[in-house]
Structure 1
């Protein structure tokens, strides 16, 4: 009996040993034939995807902004724009083109300042006045042919006194002729995205008021919508933030021998609060930009002011008098500053719910955290409920493979928000970037990961069969 038990035990042990041997051979064969595809399967590819989420920081409040009609604006058109975001806060007939008069000079100012900034000209360059400038009428500083003045002196006369002759002298110096400069103006208008603008000269004068031999041959007058004027002003304050070096000068003599100084035609300058004739028009924070008047244009004004870190640009066209353009501008700017504020919706380095990480092939940790690369701010009605802000994530379809540096772009996130009482939906897109370095894993970790993930997928597939 004992011999029989020993024999059975020996037989059972052999069977167990044989099973283990067979299993080991099968496992070895499976590893040999499947290691390469397993390695590939272990690292997922990064594909394009979108995710809609809402930011975690929510502020529940409501506000009611007045209608444009309630302002009772006495203008042909008006626009209010915030230049950083490009948001339009008010638009009254703002897309219809009208004669802009001397607001045209904003384009001349932009081009000259830009060429100086590029180093192609210097503020100290000396300009010799030609026949065209000397014969130009309207607002002027009475330049004579052959006079010589610096670009800076002529620019100052153009900016604060709206001097037509100084403007033409600058245009001819920069481009060789005024009409060559006009081509530059129209090209810039297209680049800036202005849809209605056409310039016939550098000053804004009607063609009939130009010296006859220097008039354009097509007879097409200068026109500009309030929206295009606001866009032009946006480029000035954004690309040349030192514009106030000229626009805030209250008065200045052009020549030492002049009996009277040039006086800034912008009555709304904040500094004018101490000037008897202008203090009723002085406006807190206002530091530019350009007036305009002709019989055809009426009285126009592009103004800009900054309060509490928010700059606004206003345009009014076709008012009834010099003073009326400033009265109407006050209404427009008050509407903006009283009812809107710049609010940070999303701080920089924020995560997006649902897309906290991305997969990076061959990294020590394949799930790498991602964040937005910059803050997102909107100009919103004061006290606005921002809980309806949504985020849409678009990940790159490019495969991400370690090593990756912190700050690598992996996609974008677009935040959108439609405030109550506003027609437009506000949007801003920022980059999604890796929040830390993604170091490459060593070969052994990659091997073990491949084996584990391969068999995990294999056994899950078998389990799903039953």
Structure 2
């Protein structure tokens, strides 16, 4: 009789699991009414607002169109330099001797002279804090032998990161005609990036080289001991700015990242801010004044923080809703209790009740045979959610693991179970 019950329970559990594969979790509920993008009255060429954890795009204006990025180019330059330091190919303390190309590079600069010597760390700070073009060139030449060899790395890295609309011809963001004539590339073209590509670059920096944010948050930097004044950060939105004329632009939680300007690019800014555990990435391109790039960034970030929030719908090490156990083979029991290995969060309209979110799950089992320890992977669950009125679907896949160990059943139990399964299959 006991074997009878065991086989029947196994069959029922399996049928319940199949039903769960297509079942929505709970009833739909949305909270905040999201205003239209048009109501923000943005004055710019392109823009994007992204929440990097879910990848949700909250705002998009010509976001996939390639435009001149100006000095936002230096984020890629900095990313590769930081990567080389991380790999041990170069060191922050290495001393760089400035060459002709850097000394003749115009625009925003720290007036590097041919033969002048500075550490990688000093040039890195000058490039990111003060947007120094000559510092960017000096770093590239030291790291790769020439600016154009470094540019080859930039284009390869852009491809690897999925920046489909990006192409670089230099490390500074200058227009081709503003580069020193002997050091211009032979092939025609200009630096271009889409707002979405810039956001991808920012996300990669945050994930792979968060130490760059420590530099971009510096309100000023004393480049040379002999300099009469420190270099001032070109980002007016930093709360740490000491200049009172910038206070009106200070933005709570903003810790980066990079400004840009050329005549062809207009005034640009890639910013990122974090509030209450939620980080947003904002990119504005082609504004018409130095102050506009910051006022428009404020509008974009406010839109995100005012109307959206991250909500956890599944806690780490919790039992997936409606799926307390999964079938297993050869064990002392025919099923084992399970846990979600990771937490799951979605970006939702602000004020949404997490318990009332409508999301779907898809369980993909992994065949598991006893014996096995607790924490053994028994499958994956993919959670999907879509904010009403938005095209993008948020998706998160997590491992499902056994909550306990399971020993292998004895041969007599396995034999009886097999016989019962054959009999059950006849009816």
TM-score > 0.5, shorter chain as reference: yes
Residues 1:456 and 1:434: Cα distance change in structure 2 (over 3 Å): closer
The C-alpha deviation readout for 1:11-42, integer Å capped at 9, x for no partner, is xxxxxxxxxxxxxxxxxxxxxxxxxxxxxxxx
Task: Provide the residue aligned with 2:207 in structure 1.
Answer: 238
Indicate conservation of the 8 Å contact 1:81/1:89, yes or no.
Answer: yes
Matches within 5 A, 1:253-402: 253-272=222-241, 275-353=243-321, 355-384=323-352, 386-396=356-366, 398=367, 400-402=368-370
Q: Give CA-to-partner distance per residue, 1:196-230, whole Å, 9 cap, x none.
A: 00001000001111111111111111100000000
CA contact (8 A) 1:55 1:346 kept: no
Q: Deviations for 1:433-466, whole angstroms, at most 9, x for unmatched residues? A: 111111112x3xx3144236515744884xx5xx
TM-score, structure 2 length as denominator? 0.92
Aligned in 2, Cα 1:68/1:404: closer, same or farther, shift over 3 Å? same
Report how far residue 389 of structure 1 moved: 1.1
| 1:60 CA displacement | 4.3
1:116 paired to 2:90: no
Mean CA deviation greater in 96-105 or 209-218? 209-218
Q: How does 1:67-82 map to 2 (within 5 A)?
A: 67-82=36-51
Unaligned runs of 5+ in 2: 1-9
Aligned length: 412
Q: In the TM superposition, what are the counterparts of 1:150-165 in structure 2 within 5 Å?
A: 150-165=119-134
| 3-state secondary structure, aligned to 2:249 | coil
Aligned with 1:438 (options 378, 385, 406): 406
Give the conservation status (yes or no) of the 8 Å contact 2:28–2:358: no
User: 2 CA distance for matches of 1:286 and 1:452?
Assistant: 62
Matches of 1:393 and 1:342 in 2, distance apart?
23
Shift of 1:257: 1.1
Deviations 1:120-144 (A, max 9, x none): 2111010011111011000001111
How do 1:187-226 and structure 2 match up within 5 A?
187-226=156-195
| Pair 1:52-2:17 in alignment | no
Structure 1 unmatched runs, 5+ = 1-42
Give, in angstroms, the shift of residue 322 of structure 1: 0.5
Shift of 1:89: 1.1
Matched position secondary structure for 2:246 = coil
Residues 452/167 of structure 1: CA separation in 2 closer, same or farther (3 Å cut)? closer
CA distance in 2, matches of 1:60, 1:255: 58
Q: Is the 8 A contact 2:30 2:357 kept in 1?
A: no
- CA-atom RMSD in angstroms: 2.2
> Are the counterparts in 1 of residues 29 and 358 from structure 2 also a CA contact under 8 Å?
no
Q: Distance in 2 between matches of 1:425 and 1:296?
A: 35
Match of 2:419 in 1: 454
C-alpha displacement of 1:111: 0.6
SS at match of 1:208: helix
1:362 and 1:264, CA in 2 relative to 1: closer, same or farther beyond 3 A? same
TM-aligned CA distance change 1:362 to 1:93, over 3 Å? same
Matched, 1:140 2:86: no
* Cα displacement string for residues 55-100 of structure 1 (whole angstroms, at most 9, x for unaligned residues): 46x7845221111111010000000111222221111111100000
Q: Distance in 2 between matches of 1:92 and 1:239?
A: 27
Q: Please give the per-residue CA displacement for 1:322-368, whole angstroms capped at 9, x wherever unaligned.
A: 01100100000000110111110111223335543222222111211
Q: Displacement, 1:372?
A: 1.4
Secondary structure of 2:256's counterpart equals strand
Q: What is the rounded CA distance, in whole Å, between the counterparts of 2:384 and 2:423 in structure 1? A: 43
Contact 2:140–2:150 (CA under 8 A) maintained in structure 1? yes
Does the CA contact (< 8 Å) of 2:219 and 2:232 recur in 1? Answer: yes
> What SS does the aligned partner of 1:277 have?
helix
Distance 1:391 1:375 in 2: 14
Cα pair distance change 1:436/1:138, threshold 3 Å = same
Query: For residues 172 and 364 of structure 1, do their structure 2 counterparts lie closer, same or farther at Cα, with a shift above 3 Å needed?
Result: same
